[in-house]
């Protein structure tokens, strides 16, 4: 991780869960991390904790609604002005709504596409532009996907969400191919966790907290820090090594 010290990483959805753990890990490794979310109160608290812990990097909170392209573009413009640009882009933000294919609301479907697919693609495009403008040829784009992007969960509440994660799988491979065609050494990686104990299930099943709790009580789940470790593993790989897809799940998880 030595070569990343002092360089700039963008982590989307950095206020809680996997995003917060990734942001903390990268600051600990000496990176300047822009952590964005719709609400930055928790990121500001995390930034203070990192500073108190004496980490060599810094965490910069940035308020951004990723379902709004103008806000994303404004964020990248601010990063360019204040920090020159993005060297590492961690597309972590994602959400799920209980909207089955046969009875779901279009609004919920659209929100999942906006955040899980379009925001990821927009941030990727803008991060690549930032790298090329500054002749950064060793940058890294990491998409936090899901095992739901590789197999369909047998639950109607999850089907549309899984479809957006299948899109992330396809977008990551498409990105890898386009980066090769562009003769760049910028790398693209997809990290696909199984069940991770975060606030995700409680947001997904917001009307049924007992159901959400049951998800995490059934087995020994992954922790957000496990995913952060996977991110640092990917970043620490030698520049000539392309890690395409990291699939990780709890030992006890069935599928």
> pLDDT band for position 219 (50/70/90)?
confident
What local confidence, expressed as pLDDT, does residue 199 receive? 77
Q: Give the pLDDT confidence score for residue 90 in this predicted structure.
A: 98
Say if residues 87 and 60 touch (Cβ distance below 8 Å).
no
In a domain, 251, yes or no: no
Does residue 208 fall inside a structural domain? yes
Quote the percentage of the chain above a pLDDT of 90: 89
pLDDT on residue 179:
98
Q: Count H helices and E strands in the chain, helices first.
A: 9, 7
Residue 216 known to be catalytic:
no
> Does a structural domain hold residue 248?
no
CATH number of the domain enclosing 40: 3.40.50.720
Beta bridge partners of 144: 191
Position 181 pLDDT exceeds 80: yes
**Distance between CA 103 and CA 101 in Å, rounded?**
6
Nearest CA to 193 out of 157, 156, 229, 218 is that of 229
Instruction: Specify if 225 maps to a domain.
Output: yes
Domain-embedded: residue 247: no
Catalytic residue among 55, 62, 161, 166: 161
Tell me the average pLDDT of the chain: 95
Rounded to whole angstroms, the Cα distance separating 211 from 119 reads: 29
Overall average pLDDT of the 209-234 stretch: 89
71 falls within a domain: yes
Mean pLDDT, range 89-105, rounded to an integer: 97
Residue 248 has pLDDT above 70, yes or no: yes
Does any domain span residue 145?
yes
Strand boundaries in the chain, DSSP class E: 8-12, 32-37, 58-63, 88-91, 140-144, 187-193, 245-248
Flag whether pLDDT at 203 surpasses 80: no
Q: Which residue has the higher pLDDT, 33 or 217?
A: 33
Residue numbers of the domain that contains 232: 2-241
SS3 content of the chain, % helix, strand, coil (to 5): 50, 15, 35
Number of domains present in the structure of the chain:
1
pLDDT band at 207 (very low <50, low <70, confident <90, very high): low
Flag whether 77 is in a domain. Answer: yes
For the segment 51-78, the average pLDDT, to the nearest whole number, is 98
User: What pLDDT does 194 receive?
Assistant: 94
pLDDT > 70 fraction of the chain, expressed in percent and rounded: 98
> 201 versus 217: which is more confidently predicted?
217
Indicate whether 241 pLDDT > 70. yes
pTM (2 decimals)? Answer: 0.94
pLDDT for residue 56: 97
Q: What is the mean pLDDT of residues 142-156?
A: 95
Mean pLDDT along residues 165-175: 98
């Amino acid at each position: 991780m030595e070569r990343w010290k002092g360089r700039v990483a963008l982590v989307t959805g950095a206020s809680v869960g996997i995003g917060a753990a990734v942001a903390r890990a990268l600051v600990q490794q000496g990176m300047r991390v822009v952590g964005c979310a719709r609400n930055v109160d928790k990121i500001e608290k995390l930034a203070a904790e990192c500073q108190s812990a004496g980490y060599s990097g810094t965490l910069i909170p940035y308020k951004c609604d990723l379902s709004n392209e103008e806000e994303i573009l404004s964020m990248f413009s601010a990063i360019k002005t204040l920090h020159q640009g993005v060297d590492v882009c961690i597309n972590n933000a994602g959400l799920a709504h209980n909207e089955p294919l046969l009875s779901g609301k279009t609004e919920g479907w659209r929100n999942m596409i906006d955040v899980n697919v379009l925001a990821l693609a927009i941030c990727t495009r803008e991060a690549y532009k930032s790298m090329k403008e500054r002749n950064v040829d060793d940058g890294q784009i990491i998409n936090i996907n899901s095992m739901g992007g590789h197999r369909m969960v047998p639950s109607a509440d999850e089907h549309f969400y899984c479809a957006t994660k299948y899109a992330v799988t396809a977008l990551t491979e498409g990105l890898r191919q386009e980066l090769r065609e562009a003769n760049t050494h910028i790398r693209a990686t997809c990290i696909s966790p199984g069940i991770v104990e975060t606030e995700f299930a409680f947001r997904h099943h917001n009307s049924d907290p007992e159901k959400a709790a049951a998800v995490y009580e059934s087995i020994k789940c992954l922790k957000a820090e496990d995913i952060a470790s996977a991110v640092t593993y990917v970043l620490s790989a030698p520049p000539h090594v392309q890690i395409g897809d990291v699939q990780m799940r709890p030992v006890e998880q069935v599928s």
